[in-house]
Amino acid sequence: MSDLLRSYLVAWLFFLAISLGAMANLMLHSLTGGRWGQCVRPAWLAATRLMPALALLFAPIAVGVSSIYPWSDTPGAWLNVPFFTARSIGYLLVWVVLAQAFLRADRASVDPALGANRSERRVAAAGLVIYALTMSLAAVDWIASLTPRWHSSGFGLLVIAGQMLAGAAFAIAVAASGWGPVQSPRRGALRDDFRFHDLGNLLLMYVLLWAYLAYTQFLIMWSENLPQEIRWYVPRLQTSWVAVGVILVGLHFALPLLILLSRSAKRSPAVLAVIAAGLLAAHLVDAFWLVMPSLRPAGFTLAWSDPAAVVFVGAIWTWLWWRAASREPIATERAHG
């Protein structure tokens, strides 16, 4: 049961990252404006609508906290099961309310051609701050605490960067490939109007941001070489888990970087769809890398429950997203920005 719950945690964190990343990218687009976001907004809106469902899908983790987290045997003032569960429910409620507030403000836009209304921009500005603060705390509770007595001031930012990348990669893969329901007879019109170059630059920016945060965290801890700080890296770099780290460097950074530096690659819908889908798969590997080495410190192992949990949560998430996306209107351009 412990292995199943731990596999479920990885799968749930991965799909939560797509929805939270979608919500954060929506808020970013509402503040910055520009036509680059119009073709991916339907996918982002549909993913944001799944926050209540993802909050409910946290239930198995809440029930199985003692089976997942090593600190449950020796609870402290901050890390104890009741307080941990209460904080987790609080984070999820905040995100559900935030998502609903933003969606309500977005629907209130009378004329999308005029851009985001003042209410939507206010929600977006406050929402990004609230999201950053709450996700930083949640990253410590749900992931970092798997390694007792380990802390990193930049870990929350690293998780947030990964979520923003996952949300962007999912929407770009959907839009560039034409996959997913679109309520419009002009199904191909969106693809003709893409700002592919801008979307490619967005992916490139997130790839560089994630790599920068991951590298600086590693460099600082490696330089200091303090036992309480390197304990997170010991199982990841001194066992067979290091192979997963090498795969991440290649698929989450080096290969996408080399391809996205090409202007022609960024302007090709087919290439951009493949790169975005690859980055989404790499983020699943990243979620596995963040969680499992702390729970399987002897070395890399893949349990049957790992792919089973991804398929289970993914089937629910995809079905709900498809239903939500089928109700999204075709993207219309916003002139602001």
- Residue 72: inside a domain: yes
Q: What is the pLDDT of residue 113?
A: 40
- Residue 128: inside a domain: yes
CA–CA distances in Å: residue 173 to residues 39, 87, 234: 11, 33, 35
Place of tokens 């090593």: 70
Could you report the per-residue pLDDT of 312-328, keeping only the tens digit for each? 999 999 999 999 998 86
- Residue 132: inside a domain: yes
- Residue 186: inside a domain: yes
> Helix %, strand %, coil % for the chain, to 5?
75, 0, 25
For residue 300, the enclosing domain spans 2-325
Instruction: Give 76-83 contacts, CB < 8 A, sequence gap 24+.
Output: 79/141, 79/145
- Residue 281: inside a domain: yes
- Residue 209: inside a domain: yes
The DSSP letter of residue 36 is G
Task: Identify whether the C-beta of residue 164 lies closer than 8 Å to the C-beta of residue 206.
Answer: yes
Which of 179, 138, 140, 153 lies closest to 20, judged by CA? 138
- Residue 330: inside a domain: no
CA distance 29 to 209: 18
Neighbours of 315 (CB within 10 A): 10
- Is the pLDDT confidence value at 174 over 80? yes
- Residue 192: inside a domain: yes
Domain count, the chain: 1
User: pLDDT band at 189, cuts 50/70/90?
Assistant: very low
CA distance 53 to 33: 29
Task: Identify whether the C-beta of residue 31 lies closer than 8 Å to the C-beta of residue 290.
Answer: no
Could you report the per-residue pLDDT of 270-324, keeping only the tens digit for each? 999 999 999 999 999 999 999 999 999 999 999 999 999 999 999 999 999 999 9
The pair phi, psi for residue 182, each rounded to 5°, is: -135, 125
